[in-house]
Structure 1
Amino acid sequence: MTEKPGISLLEKFSILYLLFMAIYIIYLYYSPVIDVLSGKEFKPQDFIVNLTIVIIGLCALWGGITLAKRTIAMEQLIDIGFENGVYNRLEPVLEEIAGTQVVINKMDERLNNMNINLDRLKRRSIELKIPGTEPAFGIDIAAQISRFLRLIILINITLVTFIFLLNFTDSYTPFVLTMLYVLWWLEITYEYTLWEKSSAYYWVFFPILTIPITTILGDIMYGSGILFGSMGILLALYVSAYYTWSKYIIEGILPFDLNKPINRIPSDNTISSHFFSSRTYFIQHYYKYGKFLTNVSIIFAFFLILQLFSVNIYYIKFLPKFSLDQFVFLGIFSIIFYILGVKLKHKKKEKEAETI
């Protein structure tokens, strides 16, 4: 197994830390220097100290940017050298192996789905023993009532939560809304016994990563009324989509017997022919998702820097004001998105290197 050399995560974090400290130093001592240059009274000794620190910050910023550019160029050279030196020679063999593995994975996934569906039918049925006749099976009424009660309780919890948050919006709002998505995911996953399917966990990771930051930005820009209305609609769409996907994966049919009219469509245009494993699709697009998350983290970091200058130095009218908790949450999610983006961008090539 050939291990491809690369830049470690600690080295990347060190570069980010250097850039952050340089910007922070410039931010602290930039305003006094500007005040002096604008004609205000000053002490020569203080001006020299502030100007020196600003110059040091600018040098550190320039050095950090240069180091980041060289690091990116080095990683690109490593990737190109790896592909030209090793990967291109084995690419035909790897493609054939990958194609065979995809077919095997699809067959294995389909068999697992059939087994899960059979287990669900056993759990939802009960054996009826009538003297003088062969055993028969019927619907387990108690299990159906329990399932119905779970849905009623979950719907009531959702409504009460939205009403409470609409009247008492606070810093805990993003986490409470995220927990609603997680609760509905748990209910549908339990109903269709999807605990062992890795693709089901993508459905819960997506709201965990997006709902908190979306809630913070929506509250800042549009207010609580529009925010909770939009979140209610998004929750309904999320539950419907996940339920439809789960039913199709396990039972092979769509809700409300939609598969019957779809089957009447000519086979060349059948919608189901365009469905394939979400896990396979996600793996094939690691780099695309990683690049998207990295760009989002950079945009968030840019807004944070603008917010610092807007609050303490200038007043930028078009920029909404962040509270302290919103500022902290946005910074945390910027770091999380960047780390995930970097990991996903290199995930596919690392797996190819491990295969070799």
Structure 2
Amino acid sequence: MEDGAARLRLIRTPGVGPVTYRQLLARFGSAGAAIEALPTLARRGGGRPPAVPDERAALREIAAVDALGARHVFLDAPDYPPLLAAIDTAPPAVIVRGDLALANSAPCVALVGARNASAAACRFARGLAHDLAEAGVVVVSGLARGIDTAAHAGALPRTIGVIASGIDIAFPPENAALQEQVACVGLIVAEQPPGTQPLARHFPSRNRIIAGLASGTVVVEAAPRSGSLITARLATEAGREVMAVPGSPLDPRAQGCNLLIREGATLIQNAADVLEQIRPIDPRGVRAPATPFGMAPARDASDRDRGAVVGLLGPVPVTIDELVRQSGLAPAVVLTVLLELEMAGRLERHAGGRVSL
């Protein structure tokens, strides 16, 4: 309980994201030691230390989650989903309610698409999800309107719902009964603490979990700029299969899927096409980091090192590899300086391992 509370305090600290969390634990060995070091790191980075939640707040969250029949699963726990743990931005902790074995013992496929989907697309998604579940696949989706709803309904009980709110919040409200059903016979996964409303900024984070849990992502119907295409992009970045169902060029809701196919996604017509793409992927073969939390930052950096790294940074995002190359410093030293800047509130992280002031 004490270790879990310390981890939650660190996770809920402003400015501590998934990458930073890994680096802090790799360097300091425990969440408690990392919390004690935050003021020093922030001071070296030239800013004020972040406000760390107190232990009582963390214990209240643990008690609230327990009262809901759910639990926290931390990144280095043995039952943390291995495919999710393999992505660089894996959540330091997820809150789960239901059968976690669904995310660990069977191949998972994400099935996503438009909220305002056509009746034909919803029917196809429901049938595809049913056929995949019958073949032993677990269907992952986001419990949204349209395609997500059809996917969960077709796959029950072999389905995982990933939500952008707290584990106790149903969104949209009309899916409250479906969410409860998935929690009872399948699995619900949330990253946000209980009571959190589904804000717009939470949905891209939710989408990365959907893509991370699955061996492949199938997009059934999607507009060119939609959350479903974000999920497909995240799946590509994670090295997972991306598949799409073609649609009429006259239907704007099919343009996103047709674009994905044009760019190299696998065309899907039935469950057999999906199974052909995911069967070679074995979750037991997921790469394991050299340490539980990746590369540990160096123990310290000099003022000259800090000046060199800060001098290379600006408002335009740049890759960490480029910072290492141009500074001539060891990667661990660059990571240390970036960690200090982030704790000082002076650094912003972007997709693709890029950073900016």
TM-score class normalised by the smaller sequence = under 0.3
Q: Which of the two has greater strand per residue?
A: 2
Q: Which of the two has greater helix per residue?
A: 1
Q: Which has the larger radius of gyration?
A: 1
Give TM-score scaled by structure 1 length. Answer: 0.22
